Protein backbone atom coordinates (compact mmCIF):
# COMPACT_ATOMS: atom_id res chain seq x y z
CA UNK A 1 0.00 0.00 0.00
CA UNK A 2 2.87 2.37 0.77
CA UNK A 3 4.40 1.79 -2.66
CA UNK A 4 1.08 2.62 -4.32
CA UNK A 5 0.81 5.90 -2.33
CA UNK A 6 4.41 6.82 -3.10
CA UNK A 7 3.90 6.24 -6.82
CA UNK A 8 0.72 8.31 -6.77
CA UNK A 9 2.57 11.16 -5.02
CA UNK A 10 5.44 11.07 -7.51
CA UNK A 11 3.00 10.99 -10.43
CA UNK A 12 1.04 13.93 -9.03
CA UNK A 13 4.24 15.92 -8.50
CA UNK A 14 5.31 15.25 -12.07
CA UNK A 15 1.96 16.47 -13.39
CA UNK A 16 2.30 19.70 -11.38
CA UNK A 17 5.84 20.32 -12.62
CA UNK A 18 4.79 19.86 -16.24
CA UNK A 19 1.67 22.01 -15.83
CA UNK A 20 3.48 25.06 -14.43
CA UNK A 21 4.75 27.23 -17.30
CA UNK A 22 8.46 27.92 -17.46
CA UNK A 23 9.51 31.36 -16.33
CA UNK A 24 10.32 33.83 -19.08
CA UNK A 25 13.99 34.33 -19.77
CA UNK A 26 15.57 37.73 -19.51
CA UNK A 27 18.97 39.16 -20.22
CA UNK A 28 20.54 40.10 -16.89
CA UNK A 29 22.04 43.56 -16.71
CA UNK A 30 21.40 46.92 -18.32
CA UNK A 31 21.19 48.16 -21.91
CA UNK A 32 21.96 51.88 -22.29
CA UNK A 33 21.56 54.31 -25.15
CA UNK A 34 21.83 58.05 -25.68
CA UNK A 35 19.21 60.25 -27.32
CA UNK A 36 18.46 63.91 -27.80
CA UNK A 37 15.47 65.43 -26.03
CA UNK A 38 12.90 67.63 -27.78
CA UNK A 39 14.72 70.61 -26.24
CA UNK A 40 18.01 69.52 -27.79
CA UNK A 41 19.67 68.14 -24.66
CA UNK A 42 21.60 64.87 -24.60
CA UNK A 43 20.05 62.24 -22.33
CA UNK A 44 20.58 58.58 -21.47
CA UNK A 45 17.91 55.89 -21.60
CA UNK A 46 18.22 52.39 -20.21
CA UNK A 47 16.47 49.05 -19.97
CA UNK A 48 17.07 46.83 -16.94
CA UNK A 49 16.98 43.04 -17.32
CA UNK A 50 15.29 43.12 -20.75
CA UNK A 51 13.09 40.28 -21.95
CA UNK A 52 14.87 37.87 -24.32
CA UNK A 53 13.62 37.21 -27.86
CA UNK A 54 11.19 40.14 -27.70
CA UNK A 55 11.61 43.25 -29.81
CA UNK A 56 11.85 46.40 -27.70
CA UNK A 57 11.34 49.83 -29.26
CA UNK A 58 13.57 52.32 -27.50
CA UNK A 59 11.64 55.08 -25.76
CA UNK A 60 12.19 58.57 -27.14
CA UNK A 61 14.07 57.13 -30.13
CA UNK A 62 12.27 58.10 -33.29
CA UNK A 63 8.81 56.72 -32.61
CA UNK A 64 7.36 60.20 -32.15
CA UNK A 65 9.23 61.88 -34.99
CA UNK A 66 12.39 62.51 -32.98
CA UNK A 67 15.80 61.40 -34.13
CA UNK A 68 17.13 57.90 -33.49
CA UNK A 69 19.01 56.95 -30.34
CA UNK A 70 22.76 56.47 -30.61
CA UNK A 71 25.84 55.02 -28.85
CA UNK A 72 24.19 51.84 -27.47
CA UNK A 73 25.97 49.95 -24.68
CA UNK A 74 25.09 46.34 -24.01
CA UNK A 75 25.88 45.75 -20.34
CA UNK A 76 23.78 42.56 -20.23
CA UNK A 77 24.85 38.92 -20.35
CA UNK A 78 23.15 38.35 -23.75
CA UNK A 79 23.90 39.44 -27.30
CA UNK A 80 21.86 42.50 -28.31
CA UNK A 81 20.90 43.07 -31.93
CA UNK A 82 20.04 46.72 -32.55
CA UNK A 83 18.02 48.00 -35.51
CA UNK A 84 17.79 51.39 -37.17
CA UNK A 85 14.04 50.92 -37.64
CA UNK A 86 11.39 50.44 -34.94
CA UNK A 87 9.87 46.99 -34.56
CA UNK A 88 13.25 45.28 -35.18
CA UNK A 89 12.63 45.58 -38.91
CA UNK A 90 14.81 46.52 -41.81
CA UNK A 91 18.13 45.62 -43.32
CA UNK A 92 20.18 47.92 -41.08
CA UNK A 93 21.13 46.15 -37.85
CA UNK A 94 24.19 45.48 -35.71
CA UNK A 95 24.98 42.88 -33.03
CA UNK A 96 26.58 43.89 -29.75
CA UNK A 97 28.14 41.12 -27.69
CA UNK A 98 27.70 41.22 -23.89
CA UNK A 99 29.66 44.09 -22.36
CA UNK A 100 30.21 45.87 -25.70
CA UNK A 101 29.36 49.39 -26.74
CA UNK A 102 29.23 51.26 -30.03
CA UNK A 103 30.11 54.75 -31.17
CA UNK A 104 27.77 57.71 -31.48
CA UNK A 105 27.56 57.00 -35.22
CA UNK A 106 25.47 53.86 -34.65
CA UNK A 107 21.82 54.94 -34.75
CA UNK A 108 19.17 52.68 -33.20
CA UNK A 109 15.41 52.59 -32.64
CA UNK A 110 14.83 49.02 -31.47
CA UNK A 111 16.68 46.06 -29.93
CA UNK A 112 16.21 42.33 -29.38
CA UNK A 113 18.24 40.16 -26.97
CA UNK A 114 19.27 36.54 -27.57
**What pLDDT, on a 0 to 100 scale, did the predictor assign at position 61?**
75
CATH of domain 29-113: 2.60.20
Q: How far apart are CA 88 and CA 95, in angstroms?
A: 12
**What pLDDT, on a 0 to 100 scale, did the predictor assign at position 107?**
95
Q: Each residue of 96-110: pLDDT tens digit?
A: 999 999 999 999 999
State the pTM of this model: 0.75
Query: How would you class 96 by CB atoms within 10 Å of its CB: exposed for 0-12, middle for 13-18, buried for 19 or more?
Result: buried
**What pLDDT, on a 0 to 100 scale, did the predictor assign at position 67?**
84
Q: Residue 10 pLDDT more than 60?
A: no
Question: Domain coordinates of the chain in residue numbers?
Answer: 29-113
Q: Each residue of 29-76: pLDDT tens digit?
A: 999 999 998 888 999 999 999 999 999 999 877 655 568 999 999 999
Q: Which residue has the higher pLDDT, 47 or 11?
A: 47
- Per-residue pLDDT band at 22 (split at 50, 70, 90): very low
Beta strands (DSSP E) in 10-109 are 29-36, 42-48, 56-57, 69-76, 80-83, 93-96, 107-108
Amino acid sequence: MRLHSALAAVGGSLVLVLAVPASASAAMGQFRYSYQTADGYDAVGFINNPQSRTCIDLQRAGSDGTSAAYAPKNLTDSTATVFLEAGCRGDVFYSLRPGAGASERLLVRSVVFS
